[in-house]
Amino acid sequence: MATVKRNAKGVRRSAASRSRANTARKAKARTSSVMDSAMAVLPFTEEQLHRIFLAIIIGGAVALAWFVASLAGVPAMAQQQIAGLATNAGFEVRHVTVSGVDRMNELKVYNRVLGARDRPMPLVDLDAIRSDLLELNWVKDARVSRQLPDRLIINIVEREPHAVLQRADKLVLIDSTGAELEPISRANAKGMLVVSGPGARKQVEALTNLLESAPALKPRVDRAEWIGNRRWDITFNTDQVLSLPQGGKKASTALVAFAKLDGTSRLLGGKVAKFDMRAPERIYMRIPGRSQEVLKTGEDK
């Protein structure tokens, strides 16, 4: 008697397999559609995306290699391996962008950074470059950053010219803290406040505060001489001199009092050559030729 084997189980398996295949094809089609839509929205070409993914992968590999090497206690060897890997991948300093430079010579900034050119990015010491830039007279602050794969970004904060320091042999431009910027010619210094006297550079901030206490007089001050390392002689644009007392508070009080007197009696522009306010609550005035006139009057009598 012949026996016929039933194949119902195999049919069910085949149908299930075909169903899974159809489901997978539909899911793949939907995924491809979503990816295509995303690619159309992103502002990158396919080639640029490949480069971005490559940079992420290499960056992760570099970080992992450094971490493993640090744990193993061989950071020097790891640096060389990472440097080679980064260089081969294009992570090497080839461009330097400088911003924020207005008055100073921009070449001085580039000269300080050129040592980093053609160096692998992982070996560039940003803090060392910043410290080097801060040594430049004009640089008040500096920010240094990497722009992968091959660019260093340097942002300079310049010091602002404030006054001119008169030395024995030259004039030097200084900022509001007294920091020296660069030599300046007498012609270019015209119209700027000139500060002189031993130790005057360290007193520039105090002088600024003093002049701000009498804003009406401040624009009329041409020169300020630090006398005996203790007090100021102020010369106005009328060539008249005002001697102020020692001490910041006393000097400020005297200057304000002088401003009030000038407002009521117009002292500046008159015959008095020098005003002396060193004595409390008194003002002595010297008029050129007055002593000779007094002597001549006494002789006539």
Dump the DSSP string for the chain.
Answer: -------HHHHHHHHHHHHHHHHHHHHHHHHHHHHHHHHHHSSS-HHHHHHHHHHHHHHHHHHHHHHHHHHHT-HHHHHHHHHHHHHHTT-B--EEEEES-SSS-HHHHHHHHGGGTT-BGGG--HHHHHHHHTTSTTEEEEEEEEETTTEEEEEEEEPPP-EEEE-SS-EEEE-TT--EEEEE-TTTTTTS-EEESTTGGGGHHHHHHHHHTSTTTGGGEEEEEEETTTEEEEEETTS-EEEPPSSHHHHHHHHHHHHHHHHHH--TTSS--EEE--STT--EEE-TTHHHHHHHHHHH-
Q: What is the pLDDT of residue 297?
A: 34
Give the model confidence (pLDDT) of 259-286 as tens digits.
Answer: 999 999 999 999 999 999 999 888 999 9
In this structure, are residues 85 and 65 in contact, taking their beta carbons and an 8 Å threshold? Answer: yes
pLDDT at position 114, please? 82
The predicted model scores a pTM of 0.66
pLDDT of residue 86: 47
Specify the pLDDT at position 156: 96
| Architecture field, domain 163-294 | 3-Layer(aba) Sandwich (3.40)
Q: Give first-to-last CA distance, the chain, whole Å.
A: 172
Q: Which residues pair with 236 in a beta bridge?
A: 221
> Crossing angle of helices 106-113/126-133, nearest 10°?
150
Strand order across the 231-236 sheet: 180-184, 171-174, 163-166, 194-196, 221-227, 231-236, 241-243, 274-276, 284-286
Q: Name the pairing type of β-strands 194-196 and 139-147.
A: unpaired
Task: For domain 95-158, give its CATH number from 3.30.1780.10, 3.10.20.310, 3.30.70.2740, 3.40.50.2000.
Answer: 3.10.20.310
Low-confidence ranges of the chain (pLDDT < 50): 1-9, 34-35, 39, 41, 85-86, 88-89, 292-301
Q: For residue 279, which amino acid is it?
A: A
Which of 176, 183, 184, 135 lies closest to 159 in space, CA to CA?
176
Q: Would you state the structure tokens that stand for residue 171, as one six-digit string?
A: 């004039």
Q: Could you report the per-residue pLDDT of 217-248, keeping only the tens digit for each?
A: 999 999 999 999 999 999 999 999 999 999 99
Alpha-carbon distance of 35 to 263, in angstroms, equals 78
